[in-house]
Homo-oligomer: A and B are copies of this chain.
Amino acid sequence: MGEFDLIDRYFKRPARRVALGVGDDCALLAPGPGMQLAVSTDMLVEGRHFLSTVDPARLGHKALAVNLSDLAACGARPLAFLLTLTLPQANAAFLGAFAQGLWALADAHDIDLVGGDTTSGPLSVGVTVMGEVPTGLALLRSGAQVGDELWVSGHLGEARLALEAFRGRLSLPESGFAAARRALELPEPRVALGQALRGLATSAIDLSDGLLGDLGHVLTLSDVGAVVELGRLPRSPLMSVQTAPVQRQCLLAGGDDYELLFTAAPQRAEAVSAVGRTLGLRLTRIGRITGADQGLQVLDDAGRPIDQGDFTGFDHFKRGVA
């Protein structure tokens, strides 16, 4: 099957929300009046971001999900995406499943695939997403203020538990492994939350590289410090049965959580909680923003600072999934 046949067969559908979709030199779209376009791109490479054994449908889901998560972190409403596929060969079974997972998530967010590129080569999937956000209302990493409370959605660390189980470094009961694997392979981008936080959160970032690493970006760009209370970090029952060191590693530097980490003024706490109730999504206060001179402190249950030396963010040139 040739490149053009592949595109036609799996990835060409009429555009519903943009002016021009797949098939010309460019796609054409326009954010609404008073809107800015938010754009982001992320690539998944086999052996680095996913295992060769992954279910192709889940890979299709995740490739789009991690990009939608970036839009969520800006408070943007998704509009469209581009897909770049590098494939060892044009395998219909793989592509059919991949496309099914991809389209299911695209349909859930009512967005169009408007272009892309396919090439033969080692398996990788690149997605570029575009969304819209009212001018001036995008959630930025640079907006955290001293005195703000620090919040996180969902719970943390399950994706890393699955990864460590794959690596053979810990064992999980069968049902627990399935749940953790689901967290790793089928993350739910917090798109509705991001939009609900417009005008409410002062800053936001999505958790892809681990809590401390991603929080560090916010602190740097906002020129502030933070205190995080380890005991407040939201964890699932799966996590609670792990040893304390495993819990710390997964919660503080797990990676692949795709939850939103955000800041809000203390007087907005009830409004933030109301958003969580409306969306049926757990939102947890995990700390507060301090002056830049205090840096980033993590306190244990006794209120003592813990050594963060072992909890650096995920760096794709240092370690991968394989």
- Which chain A residues have a beta carbon within 8 Å of chain B's beta carbons? 1-4, 6, 19-20, 23-31, 35-43, 45, 47-49, 70-71, 73-74, 76, 82, 84, 86, 89-90, 114-122, 124, 126, 128, 130-131, 133, 135, 138, 140-142, 204-206, 221, 315-318, 320
Contact = CB atoms under 8 A, between A and B. Distances in A.
Closest 8 CB pairs of A and B: A25-B73, A26-B38, A26-B74, A26-B40, A25-B70, A128-B128, A45-B121, A41-B82
Contacts of A45: 86, 119-121
Nearest to A220: B23
A294 to B, nearest CB: 23
Contact of A221 (B23, B118, B128): B23
Contacts of A76: 26
- Most chain B CB neighbours (cut-off 10 Å) among A6, A35, A86, A317: A317
Nearest to A40: B26
A84 B85 CA distance: 13
Contacts of A39: 26-29, 82, 114-115, 128, 130
B40 A2 contact: no
B135 A30 contact: yes
A141 B26 contact: no
Nearest to A122: B122
A117 to B, nearest CB: 5
Contacts of A221: 23-24
Contact of A317 (B3, B40, B41): B3
Contacts of A204: 25
B43 A37 contact: no
Contacts of A130: 37, 39
B4 A74 contact: no
22 contacts: A1-B317, A3-B317, A24-B140, A27-B40, A28-B36, A28-B38, A28-B39, A28-B138, A29-B36, A30-B37, A40-B82, A41-B115, A42-B117, A43-B86, A43-B126, A48-B121, A86-B124, A118-B317, A120-B317, A120-B320, A121-B124, A126-B126
Contact of A41 (B31, B47, B117, B120): B117
Contact of A142 (B24, B48, B120, B126): B24
Contacts of A36: 19, 28-30
A29 B24 contact: no
- Most chain B CB neighbours (cut-off 10 Å) among A6, A24, A315, A318: A24
